[in-house]
Structure 1
Amino acid sequence: MNVAVVLIIAVVLFFLAYRFYARFIAKLFDENDNRPTPACALRDDRDYVPTKPVVLFGHHFAGIAGGGPIIGPTVAVIFGFLPVWLWAVVGTIFIGAVQDMTVLFASIREKGKSIAEIAKESLGNTGFFLFISFAILMLILLTSAFLGLTAVSLTSLVPLEMMRLAPDQTIVKTVLVGGVPNAQIGGISSTSLIIITAFAPVIGWLVYKRGVSVNVAVPLAILVCIGSILLGMKYPVSLDPDIWMIILCFYTLLAAGIPVWIILQPRDFTNSFLLYMGVAALFAGGIAAGMKGVTFTAPAFNLAQGASKLGPVWPFLFITVACGAISGFHALVAGGTSSKQVAKESHVKKIAFGGMLLEGLLAIGVMIAVGCGILFSDYV
């Protein structure tokens, strides 16, 4: 099957879902911009901060779209590209986007409370204890896994041969590993991460203290993103993975304890443009490949081999592709931070439903890239 056909059908379905289904859900919640949101009614410029939708969308999207929508589809292609595509499309529209939007609405109506706090009011102390215990346990497992993955990615080395670059190239810095030149891809990411984080307070100060408009903040964020990558290619930072884990843990504690507009929100807003560029590149690549007649090397269905590698398609496909279809972690993001920053109820559809659709598109783009860009015999 032509890869562009799969991509275009998904985009059309996502557009129709946003145009009609999201509006239907908004009507069910009696969306009303005259009803003050917690960000306005309880504003403290620390956690409760009314935020422009383009900034909050970036903050929310960067919070939900981590490694999940990339790693999940990459692994799940073993079941065949069609099951992954079907789950990403159906799951995103009818489960993931609905969950994200309803959780954000529910948290807003409950003064920005988390889902655990809402559960306490509805289910009592026992329900609250069970909910918060499960959430804490899952967060420990999730953050532990992604802490390790992040440290590995920030220190990763890729042989130049795999990148189809000559040994004498000057595009990226290299190190020798066993006599083989390796590109310091992780070093580029490390430099970019440091620069984006360092500029986050500047962008936050400009937006919230100097009143800089979005028309200025967006180009500035894009400039920081591109500049950080270019500097990373010339000056990659190389640290031990254990050192990165310590730094990331310290950053998490710092970002969680200071006003959201200083680091957390502007850093996510800036970082989101890297994600947008990635989604755009995957989309453009899929269309260009389709125009050249590229088809999937992966089979449409490969359930037997997938079951032998990962386990039965039910439930392992749906566990593997969580972000990019449906992820309970999104409820923690929506109810934990995003609900305290929504300025108007009409923004909920854009941020929650739209954010989930974009993540679904990211997952589908990754699935297409893996399904047609790698010989399936090499993949398995």
Structure 2
Amino acid sequence: MITFLACIALLIVGYFTYGKFVEKVFVVNEGRPTPAFTHEDGVDYLPMNTKKNSLIQLLNIAGVGPIFGPIMGALYGPVAFLWIVLGCIFAGAVHDYLTGMISIRNRGAHLPELAGKFLGKVMKHVVNAFAILLLLLVGTVFVTAPADLLYNLMNGKVGLGLIIAAIFIYYILATLLPIDKIIGRFYPFFGALLLISAVGVGGGLVITGAPIPELSLQNFHPDNAPIFPLLFLTISCGALSGFHATQTPIISRTTQNEKQGRKIFYGMMIAEGIIAMIWAAAAMSLFNGYSGLNDMLTNIGTAGIVGEASKLMLGAIGGTLAVLGVIILPITSGDTAFRSARMIIADYMNFSQKKISSRLWIALPLFAISIALTKVDFTILWRYFSWANQSTAVIALWVGAMYLFIAKKNYWIAMIPGIFMTMATMTYILNAKIGFGLSLNTSYIGATIITAVIILLFYIAAKKARMNNLTLEDDVSGWKKVA
């Protein structure tokens, strides 16, 4: 219990200390107009207040990742707590903040456009395809996961196919309509339900004195299971997630002032880390140890564990409300996954989104592909999602490092986690069955070489960009606010 409470405290302290440091490194400009005003179109670009943007950002980024990932990561033991805390403060929140703020400085640009500007034109095309793939996987995973939860919650009284169809209908509406019509209007209520469920489960763990394992040298992780690189891909959204890089530009287009960025981008990642801590602790303590957790994962799956843990902590009624809060998470990330995919394709093709017909012809093929993907086994999708997700995070961190290097600022805040995760993702894809299937030792060597080459290429490109005085920001000097 001490480790759990200390980790929660560290996450909160991290927001007020390292978060402030990162903000100081970036240097916000409160007088600079944001894209919400300079590009206002009434659909994707429009100003919304900090509270609303923060709740939307939290729900956008917090899909099943900070719940399903930590539950599976709990099999590695208390070391999962360390990755959630350190990853969240020094990698995930930095990743989200820099992506959001650099996007604000570049008219709300999405990651492919930022990658093209700061990492080279070829990267724009590569990241564009990669981001669309990731968002399709996310959208599909976030259809099947909440559908399974709802199906279990209703004891199979409503058909799974009908539930999936209803979720798709909602996603279509949320993808096509202006952001303030559904997302901006209903997310505050969804956010309240999410927070109530997380606080309920977390409070239940503390009040009942759940046997949450403490971190020690003897109990670092069970059976000496190899944690690198698997832990760092299993627990993603609760520590570091490339999916967030596809979501923050949605809110960069509705943020009113740069000063709000630390609360919206850095702060909401910290909130997600707290949610991840709660579910990792619940998984470690409620099912008779790691062997019991492993049996539960095999027999009832991650969705089943969420339901069981909620009922154990809060009873039948409270548990149902908690599960509803968990169901909200993937749904409120799935809808923005498709919305983000639409926006990325529109930006790539320079296609205006003011008319709903223009949005429709981009969105419908995306949904058709996603429907086909729902027929694929969830566990297979999750493996590809995990690698694609963290690889996207790597790209976003290198974009952040490049931006700061060119600006002659402390680029190490992005480069250090970027190097670490480059090594992790490369080791995984070289070793995994879905990748090259090499031995672990060979994968370590190969990943080290690839990472070293990427570092060298980064410095060559960064010094060239600095010499050529690459423009870091869009010019808004001629902009005047219309009363």
For normalisation by structure 2, the TM-score amounts to: 0.57
Shift of 1:361: 0.5
Alignment of 1:337-376 (within 5 A): 337-376=250-289
For 1:47, the equivalent position in structure 2 comes to 44
> Are 2:71 and 2:279, in contact at CA under 8 Å, matched by a contact in 1?
yes
Q: CA deviation at 1:349?
A: 0.5
Q: Which of 296, 299, 324 is matched with 2:213 structurally?
A: 296
Is the counterpart of residue 65 in structure 1 residue 62 in structure 2? yes
- Please give the per-residue CA displacement for 1:106-145, whole angstroms capped at 9, x wherever unaligned: 0000011111112223344421110011111222222222
1:10-21, aligned counterparts within 5 Å?
10-21=7-18
**Which one-letter code corresponds to 1:325 in the other structure?**
A
Counterpart of 1:119 in structure 2: which amino acid?
Answer: A
1:22-101 alignment runs, 5 A limit: 22-80=19-77, 82-101=78-97
Match of 1:242 in 2: 161
Opposite residue 100 of structure 1, the aligned amino acid is D
Query: In the TM superposition, what are the counterparts of 1:153-168 in structure 2 within 5 Å?
Result: 153-157=149-153
Counterpart contact for 2:89–2:270, Cα < 8 Å? yes
**Conservation of the 8 A alpha-carbon contact between 2:238 and 2:272:** yes
1:274-333 CA distance string (max 9 Å, x none): 11112222332233234xx8443999334437x4xxxx3211111110010000000111
Shift of 1:102: 0.5
Which residues of structure 2 form unaligned runs of 5+? 295-483
Query: What is the CA-CA distance between 1:370 and the residue it aligns to?
Result: 1.7
**Contact 1:38–1:340 at 8 Å: present in 2 too?**
yes
Query: Structure 1 stretches of 5 or more lacking a match?
Result: 158-183, 187-237
Aligned pair partner of 1:141 in 121, 137, 144: 137
Say how many residue pairs are matched: 291
* Aligned residues of 1:40 and 1:48 also touching (Cα < 8 A): yes
In structure 1, what is the Cα distance between the partners aligned to 2:140 and 2:161? 13
Distance 1:297 1:126 in 2: 47
Q: SS of 2:14's equivalent?
A: helix
Q: Does 1:257 align with 2:153?
A: no
Contact 2:3 2:214 in 1 (8 A): no
Structure number with higher relative contact order (C-alpha < 8 Å, ≥ 6 residues apart): 1
* Between structures 1 and 2, the one with greater helix share: 2
Contact 1:116/1:132 (8 A) holds in 2 = yes
Partner SS, residue 246 of structure 1: helix
- 8 Å contact 1:104–1:339 — kept in the other structure? yes
* Residue 315 (str. 1) matches residue 229 (str. 2): yes
CA distance in 2, matches of 1:316, 1:352: 26
**Cα offset, 1:97, TM superposition:** 0.4
Instruction: Find the counterpart in structure 2 of residue 269 from structure 1.
Output: 188
Deviations 1:208-238 (A, max 9, x none): xxxxxxxxxxxxxxxxxxxxxxxxxxxxxx5
CA distance in 2, matches of 1:257, 1:143: 15
Q: CA RMSD in A?
A: 2.1
1:241: how far off? 1.5
Q: CA deviation at 1:83?
A: 0.9
Q: Tell me, yes or no, if the aligned pair for 1:282 and 1:365 is still in contact at 8 Å.
A: yes
The residue identity in structure 1 corresponding to 2:278 is G
Instruction: Please state how far the C-alpha of 1:49 moved relative to its aligned partner.
Output: 1.6
Q: Is the 8 A contact 1:63 1:268 kept in 2?
A: no
- The partner residue of 1:102 within 95, 98, 104 is 98
Q: 2:243 aligns with which of 289, 314, 329?
A: 329
Q: CA offset at residue 10 of structure 1?
A: 1.6
Q: Report the equivalent of 1:207.
A: none
Runs of 4+ in 1 over 6 A off after TM superposition: none
Which of residues 124, 127, 138 is equivalent to 1:128? 124
Distance in 2 (CA, whole Å) between partners of 1:264 and 1:239 is 26
Partner amino acid, structure 2, of 1:275: L
Deviation at 1:104, TM superposition (A): 0.4
CA contact (8 A) 2:36 2:47 kept: yes
Q: SS at the partner of 2:46? A: coil
String of CA shifts for 1:23-61, please: whole Å, max 9, x gaps.
111122221221111112222222112111111111110
Q: 1:297 to 1:354 in 2, by over 3 A?
A: closer
Query: What is the percent sequence identity of the aligned residues?
Result: 31
1:256 shift after superposition: 1.4
